[in-house]
Structure 1
Amino acid sequence: MLRIHLTSEDVGRIRIAAGPVPAWEMLLSLHALRGPADHGVFGPWRAKALGTLDPSARLLLPLAPPRGYSPDFLTPADSDIESAMDTVQRTARDRLRTDLTILAGQRGTATWMRSLADADTGALRRVGTAMRRYHQRVLAPAWDRIHTVVAAERAARAADLLDGGVERMLNSLHPQIRWEAPVLSVAYPVRRELHLGGRGLLLVPSYFCWARPITLRDTRLDPVLVYPANRGLQRLVEPADKSDGDCVARLLGATRAAVLEEIAAAGGITGADIVRRLRISPASASEHATVLRQAGLVVSHRTANTVLHMPTPLGRAVLDGDARTLRSPCAHRPRPTEADHRVP
């Protein structure tokens, strides 16, 4: 059991990662690569990923054993792979020696790790390069879908926070996580006590986190709790039958249908998210979101300079093909507002 002790100051400093954290998805996907070939969710992705691995991945595999300890330095919380790679390459010698000594005690280490433990710049550079190539070849092709799953989880927890406060949000994170103030208890293979001491807690929903939540071993590092985000068991490989999606595309147009599908899949995304995921211009994203809003398929809320688009029940019904709930969009068309003419 992992027991995380929060002060009132810590509760006020709980954050949810804005998107998938590349280093954590890398580590946990490396675990998945060594998992069963017939895994219901990871199996199809695993079969494809094994064929695209760069030879440099051999450096990462011994650092990411499927069971037991993986070095803390390998999973910085940076939001993009280049920043994560830079953070890893700048890891201090004391940190490297501590982490690799623990790893060696668990299963031994490869000869090249001795130079890594000495903070040899060449060894660190090779690890950083391996991280980049792994992300480019294995994770990047599926990154938009990973991001969609994580964004949907983040939106759901934000809704829990708004509707039921911190207590509901923390108790809804995962079946193996329980909040009884002031302690957050997590089912864990070893007994550990983590006192935050006012540092707060970063919650990291992860696509590849599967069996149970995970945290860093060193309690002196910035506190992180990584937990499974893929509650809908969404695969990274699209099913062959896409006839329903084709019908929606014929109704709305391919791009507008894709915009609606992204908004619904995430439970709520910004205009910038639409631009990034669909690779369309900001003006096009704004136009499609406006039409969908005027048709009653999405609603939009502005906070400062950001507009969050969320699906309406009618919008979800269109995607689901639920004829019982479908009605004329024009009957639900809201009056135009000033926000209708702004770029998301």
Structure 2
Amino acid sequence: MLRIHFTAEDLARVRLAPAADPLWEMLLSAHTLGTGPAGGALGDWARWARPRLRADARLLFQLAPPRGYSADFLTPAGGSTRLEDGIETVLGTPRRRLRTDLAQLAGRPGSAEAVRLLAGGEASSLARLGSSLHGYFEATLAPIWRSVEDDVAADRAIRGRALLDGGVERLLRTIYPGARWESPVLLMPYPADRDLLLDGRGLLLVPSYFCQGLPISLLDPALPPVLVYPITHTAALPAGAGTRALDDLVGATRAGVLRCLATAGHGQSTTDLAQRLGASLPSVSEHMTVLRRAGLASTRREGRRSLHTITVLGRQMLRP
């Protein structure tokens, strides 16, 4: 059980992270990959992501083993919604903090190399860590980041409504099933028996796409208090999955017209589209009319031909 002790000042300083935190999502998605098969959306993502991992991702896994302690400095206080800012903060971790966190990992199977490499805080070692974080994000998270952001935003809307309707206490009660508010203490299921004293520092709530099971807090009680909690998500969308969803939404032929327009370097005539899709001219013409009305495509006359192009909104529809 986790018991978070609030003062009146703490209740006034409860904050909700403004958007998805890329560093927390990196760490927790690495846990997802390290724990073996998973079901649902995260299982689909894991099966897609594992073959994409780069060799330098090994360093991240050594610092963030799937069970037990992960280095606190990988998710710095305050967080950031921009990947570059977050990684810059990680690489600027003071050496004393590095040594403290790495000491917690010392002796854990598979972590010896990371501890040895980073304990001194040398620039070359930190650069290797930066490369590992960048590479991992680009390979496994960047293609689905829009989905992560959308589902975190949806959860924020739910929490905002709870705050407006019932104040901070209702917000705290609704972030996780089984959470109980026994003033001035928030109690919730947790892997260990622990008390977290806020002491006027407030609490940052971080909704997370990749958080599974129980909420998470930082081990060091001296760090700014953070509570990361799992959200409900619709589906992980690896590259290409978004186009299948678009087929279901607008129909395979109409979605095919959009893809043809997106991959063409110039406008496409109705005849061009019909030939590429293997469809009839009247069918393509009808689909183009619907797409224009929806603002997904546009048509201009050039001499005797009508040339069709995709709009910005149409391109957005094709994004995973």
Q: TM-score, normalised by structure 1?
A: 0.70
**Which letter does structure 1 place at the counterpart of 2:193?**
R
> 1:118 — aligned with what?
120
Aligned with residue 139 of structure 2, among 113, 119, 137: 137
Instruction: Describe the shift of the 1:176–1:132 C-alpha distance in structure 2 as closer, same or farther (beyond 3 A).
Output: farther
In 2, are the aligned partners of 1:150 and 1:207 still within 8 Å (CA)? yes
Distance 1:180 1:105 in 2: 39
1:69 aligns with 2:69: yes
**Which letter does structure 2 place at the counterpart of 1:138?**
T
Q: Offset of 1:225 from its aligned partner?
A: 0.3
Instruction: Describe the shift of the 1:96–1:142 C-alpha distance in structure 2 as closer, same or farther (beyond 3 A).
Output: same
Q: Larger deviation: 57-66 or 240-249? A: 240-249
In 1, are the aligned partners of 2:45 and 2:236 still within 8 Å (CA)? yes
> 1:159 — aligned with what?
161
- Higher RCO (CA 8 Å, separation ≥ 6 residues): 2
Q: How many residues align?
A: 262
Unaligned runs of 5+ in 2: 256-286, 297-310
Query: Secondary structure of 1:51's match?
Result: helix
> 1:173 — aligned with what?
175
Aligned with residue 97 of structure 1, among 96, 99, 109: 99
> 1:335 — aligned with what?
none
1:216-236 CA distance string (max 9 Å, x none): 00111111100001x245333
The structure with the largest alpha-carbon Rg is: 2
Q: Offset of 1:110 from its aligned partner?
A: 2.3
Distance 1:82 1:67 in 2: 27
Instruction: Describe the shift of the 1:157–1:50 C-alpha distance in structure 2 as closer, same or farther (beyond 3 A).
Output: same
> 1:34 — aligned with what?
34
1:245 aligns with 2:246: no
Q: Offset of 1:111 from its aligned partner?
A: 3.0
Q: Offset of 1:142 from its aligned partner?
A: 0.4
Distance 1:257 1:152 in 2: 25
Q: Offset of 1:107 from its aligned partner?
A: 3.6
Q: Offset of 1:241 from its aligned partner?
A: 5.7
* Percent sequence identity over aligned pairs: 47
In 1, are the aligned partners of 2:16 and 2:204 still within 8 Å (CA)? yes
1:188 aligns with 2:190: yes
**Which letter does structure 1 place at the counterpart of 2:89?**
T
Instruction: Describe the shift of the 1:243–1:65 C-alpha distance in structure 2 as closer, same or farther (beyond 3 A).
Output: same
Q: Offset of 1:149 from its aligned partner?
A: 0.4
> 1:236 — aligned with what?
237
Unaligned runs of 5+ in 1: 259-278, 286-344
Q: Offset of 1:164 from its aligned partner?
A: 1.6
Q: Offset of 1:51 from its aligned partner?
A: 1.9
Instruction: Describe the shift of the 1:165–1:94 C-alpha distance in structure 2 as closer, same or farther (beyond 3 A).
Output: same
Alignment of 1:326-341 (within 5 A): none
Instruction: Describe the shift of the 1:37–1:182 C-alpha distance in structure 2 as closer, same or farther (beyond 3 A).
Output: same
1:282-314 CA distance string (max 9 Å, x none): xxx9xxxxxxxxxxxxxxxxxxxxxxxxxxxxx
Q: Offset of 1:255 from its aligned partner?
A: 9.8
Q: Larger deviation: 98-107 or 146-155? A: 98-107
RMSD: 2.7
In 1, are the aligned partners of 2:62 and 2:110 still within 8 Å (CA)? no
In 1, are the aligned partners of 2:4 and 2:198 still within 8 Å (CA)? yes
**Which letter does structure 1 place at the counterpart of 2:146?**
D
Query: Secondary structure of 1:185's match?
Result: strand
1:159-192 CA distance string (max 9 Å, x none): 1111121122111101142222211112111121
Instruction: Describe the shift of the 1:108–1:37 C-alpha distance in structure 2 as closer, same or farther (beyond 3 A).
Output: closer
Query: Secondary structure of 2:20's match?
Result: coil
> 2:111 — aligned with what?
109
In 1, are the aligned partners of 2:63 and 2:114 still within 8 Å (CA)? no
In 1, are the aligned partners of 2:45 and 2:237 still within 8 Å (CA)? yes
> 1:322 — aligned with what?
none
Query: Secondary structure of 1:94's match?
Result: helix
Q: Offset of 1:64 from its aligned partner?
A: 1.1
Q: TM-score, normalised by structure 2?
A: 0.75
Distance 2:293 2:207 in 1: 28
Query: Secondary structure of 1:119's match?
Result: coil
